[in-house]
Structure 1
Amino acid sequence: MITHFHYHAQIIDIGHDAVLNGLTVQPSRSSVPPRPFRDRGASASRRRLLTVLAVAGFALQSVLVLGAAAVPPDSPSAADSTEVPDSATAATATPTPSPSPTPSAMPSNFSFSAPDFSPTNAVRLSGTKDAGSSVVISPRSATGSPFCTIPASDDTEFDCTAAVASGAAISLIAVQTLAGVASAPLSATVDVLGAPTIDGAPESLTTGIISGYGFAGSTVTAVVDGGAAGCSSVATDAGYWSCVLTVPSGPYVIRAKQSRADLGGGASSSLSGSLSLVVDRDSPASAVITSPAPGSQVAGTQVAVSGTGEAAPAGLSGTADVYLDNLPACQSAIVGGTFSCIVGGVSKGPHSLLVIQRDAAGNYSAPSAPITVTFGSRGAAAPAPPAIPRPPGSPAVPSTPPSAAPPSTTPSAPPSVTPLPPGGSIDNWGTPTTFGAMLPTLSSSVTSGNLALAPLLAIAFVLLIALPLRLLAGALRGRIRMPSLQFTGRNHARPSASVPVIESAPLNPWVVGAIPLAAAAALIVIAGGVDDQVRYLRLSLAVVIGLAVLNVVGVAVATRCGSFAQRVSGRLRFVPLLLFAAVVAAVLSRVAGIHPPVIAGVLIGVGFSSTVAARARAIVSLVEIGSVTVLAAGAWLLHGLFGAASGFWALLAAESLATIALAGLGSVVVLILPIASLPGRAVFEWSRPAWLATITVAALFASVVVLGGGDASFPVIGAIVCAGAFAALSVAVWGWLRFVEPGAVELHD
């Protein structure tokens, strides 16, 4: 390597001669041009001295250049040679900051390794390093703190334990720093699968069900007392796992491990911490009602029911569920072997009482022997005792209290009835109804296996209902005149001019709207099933609220906004055809036993004058259909969040959401039909593709809801058969009126 030196010779003008004043190795950019050294009156001896100094400086620079050329390129002196400024430039040179250390070639003693698989989340990492260096190990893609930091020391080997979450092919990098210079990173990958967790407190009581959290998709195995496998389960996407121990009743110590095929070749994790628990799989003896006495009479409509049951271990308690005429009436904790709760709202006459006990572990007893109690006067004879509720698959219960059942290796099943919350009654404002109970959630609709059937049902609706109905309506146009139904007192026959007319005052529009709304609400309540109990008054209120939201927000507000955007004016009106559709849907749901019921609740629409363009009508109609669909979808999703609601307000909200979801979906599939004055006709006449896309989406959404859920009961085959018969009849009528009848008229003429 040749070091280049640059010099700058400054010229000093002495009379007519030019001499070198000085030499610099590197010119200073910040220096200003020097002043001439010749001053007035300078002596000749001074000028000669300056000339000698300039020649000596030039000679010294020549020697330095020749010496630098003779230095070998790899010599440290050549590599460290820098340009040295003279005294004139050194004072003004700007200091240059030292550059940060850059990664150098990897030292020969630096290495890093990780195991291929770690059965714990504490992963041991090791390697070698240079003496005096430090090492940092961190995840390749993470931005947080490093896993390990090994401080600088004279050791040449290192190891550390890093806390790494479970996962496949987790990439780690290690960087060594020596004398401020970082090495090139070294990488390693590791499969990590730590031990799962087990829920529960020590010495907890269970029927054999255990649960916890593990790595998603892994198979979790519970190990009993350090050896035998108790049960296994696959962890969900959220990591939750649960299984039932198939062991007799008694104390056990449980640990758990997990494995997954793509982690460590299917190797198992380490065992979790131990949990001691008590398995109780034995059904308790039947509880006994001690008050009121069998055959006694109660003056009022409520009674305090008390009795004895199985005493639970310290800190725990069992539960007694009291049934009135085989329906849950009240519930009480069993404390110290006794229970007591109030049964209220009972009608006059004889009634049957019994109790079912649930111990602290969750095992159910057989029902107690029923007793008959007369409320009010003794007017009627006591009826025969009703059938006693019992767990599914169990033998008939005798009229006398059974003896204690022998120990079983399986937990007892709960009875076929659902107990109410503490203090609940079969006849109060906070008692749930069955309306909306079978409305599926989004997850149950997706996982129930009906996603393939829903598109077929939607296509069948379009091909067998909507299009044939359009053909039939077109063929019958002008042949059948429907009466104009109004609720304002002006739908009577027009009087002759000779008859005097006494005009009545117009009805209040709110009253006019309330009449069909109340009728539709009654139809919906009847479709879901009703009884003479106060909880159905709450259900009626919830249905009215749901229908009001659909008609006011989904239709009135939405069409108002759509008309404003299109700069057109429309008028809201009651549509009798929609009320007729609500009647048909309610009757079919009730007769066919469809659950969740297929109902409709939109009763109003917007009407336009004949001067409004078809495009504007269609867009406002699409806004109406879309808003009702969005309301129904939102209510459906929110209803799934309520779960098992309890209490007046929670049940009112859940039933209102169920009304909006079910009546909204039923109304959408009616609104999109291309007949009469329905919005679907305006869309159909404006754009066939837009109508087809809209009805397909609406029918698909409705099909997913009515088919979803394991408890749903929609008669798919029967519906398709009836739809096919309707389509055949519609096409036959259309063909007759279009082709056969005109020919018959011509022959007759």
Structure 2
Amino acid sequence: MVGTRFTGSGSSRARRSYRAGRLLAGVLLLGFLVPALLAGGSVGSAVAATSSPTPAPAPTPAATPAATPAPTRSSAPPTVSPTITGPRPGSFVGSGSTTVSGTGEPGQEIQLLSAFPGEDPSCILVVDDSSEWSCTGVRLPSGPSVRLRVVVTADPAFAAEQTIAVLAAPVVTGGPSGQAASNGVVRGTAYPNASVIVRLADGNRCTATADTSGAWTCAFGGRLASGAAEVTAAQQATFSLPSWSNESAAIALLFDVDRPAPPTVTEPAAGGRVPLDRATYAGSGENGSTVTVFAGAYSVCSGVVAGGSWTCSAGGVAAGSYAVIAVQQDAAGNVGQGSPAFTLAYGPAAPAPAAGRATPSPRASAPLAAATATAAPAPEPARSPQTATPSQRDGDEAVALGALPGGWSDPTRFATAVLPPWSPSGLSWSQAVLLSLGSLMLLYVPARLLAGTLSRSRGGRPVWPGTAIAGRNRARQEYETAPDVAVNRWLVAGAALAAAATLIMLSGPVTSQPAYLRLLLAVMVALIVVNGVGALVPLWWSSRICRVPASVTFLPRYLLLVAVTALGSRLFEVHPALVFGLLGSVAATPGALNPERGQIAAVRAGSLIGLSTAGWLALGLLPTADGFLSSLGAEIANSVVLTAIGSVALVLIPIGRTSGRSILAWSPSIWAGLTTLAFTIMFGVLSPAVAIWNGDGTVTLLGVAAGVFAALSVGAWAWQRFVTPSRG
């Protein structure tokens, strides 16, 4: 029909016929296209059907792929961003994992990024037809602003983000050493500076605060019984207030709160001599425990008890004689009482004397000596002078000077000087009371009688007149200009404190190890505590109760007492040491009456007794001294106990112008009660030394000496009281 033209009268009819034919063809074509489109075909297939002689059948539903439960992933560009609907923004999650959910465009693949930097996404999933998605078990770090972020995989610009607060449960790692055995101390990790509550199944609990690294330690109270128990913990941080984290997973710990018995030392024998370079120690103890041998201030070696016995060997002890003890620590961390002390000599034996100092005969050569060694038993031959080479002598000298390896965390004997009051010892409380009564009757009362006798014999003048210790005793008026030296009182106090701390530290053996600088610091802190309590409490009493002005007076002669007691303890190997720690006294105004002076003195003595008792009780709660801070704390506590109880025992002597004299003049009964209490606690603190004295007969000798002193004092008093007046 293309190119056909219509002319003449019949052209109009022809045009109408042509148009009708085109309309019919269009209707027929539309009839083929509509069924094809409704059946899911394409326009191209419909067109192909029109050109085919035989129309192709429409696709049937059976020809489509089978439907699957998983949503179909869409490759089309996203049109909406995903959202996070749970947890809500700013909410708190009390565990280390949770479920994160939200909405998105159906079919789109999304990723929930990990809250831990550098890790793979927590979830990769496809949004279902309901436009929802959910990811379970998502791990989260603890913190006040933990970021949750979800992105579309095809276009990360379509994303959603929010922050929440998360605090996971703390972790319980075990006992003091991180093992399953515990002496009541539990360790673990938590969020830095968080508060931690640790619970047992029976309701017993303890609290702790994590340090900046997240480590925490807590000790259960006295109600804890030995046995297995499950332990859980929860924590609370400043950003989680008032909420707590969930409870941690329960772990089973074996609690052992019973201290082990003292170990035994069977080798070397008491009174023997051991070499400097290497000596072997052996004995018996509790299986699984660690036994540490101490020779004076030296921690010699340690061995683990297996099969009921232990052994260890080491050197590094300076030449000399030392008191040797062994201390046992069980697997739970309990430290028992030290074994009975015995003396060992360290160093080479003295050379055997040679007749006429003759030159050694060739027969004394090493081969011949080795050949004849079995002829008769003999002591180990001493090292001859020829064998002491210069290098060996130099090494011995270096050891003698204390050039020993050591660190800041090494133990000293002050860290375990005093046993807690409930520890088993060789001295019972009844024996301590009897010893205190004996000291009162044989020492203090006779000392008072003797001092009064000597004072009366001097016409009322004091027994020890108040003269200067050094220098010319000339009156101030003898100088044309009296010399005034202005000295800062804080400088004097600091120098006196350092001198007293050094003297007290010398009450036991000291080496050049850094740990003894830590001990010096601990003793100085203890002296500050003792002198602070001994001054502030009576000052408060005098101003608030007695209404009498009082002042603190520095007494240089007290440094002499510090030196005498410290060096005396060192000389006679008293361990724990009997030391004096006061540097001054509290004096009332000259117009104060005897009752007021007596009350102030009694309060001072009572405060020191209370301080020593509190420190003694606290020793059982301190952690094992196995690091710098724990050793420093133990040394401070031990020094407080020793200096406080030693000071109060000496100031209660009722002679001169001591506190004991003021209390006795005010109330003899209160003086007797305070003295008995102070001596009972002192003998309890010194129980290891007293037990040794009781075993070697020293207590008997001291008792005889005290009895002789009491007899002489009472005899002098009776002679002046009864005989001298009758003869006059």
Superposition TM-score, scaled by structure 2 size: 0.43
Structure with more helix by fraction? 2
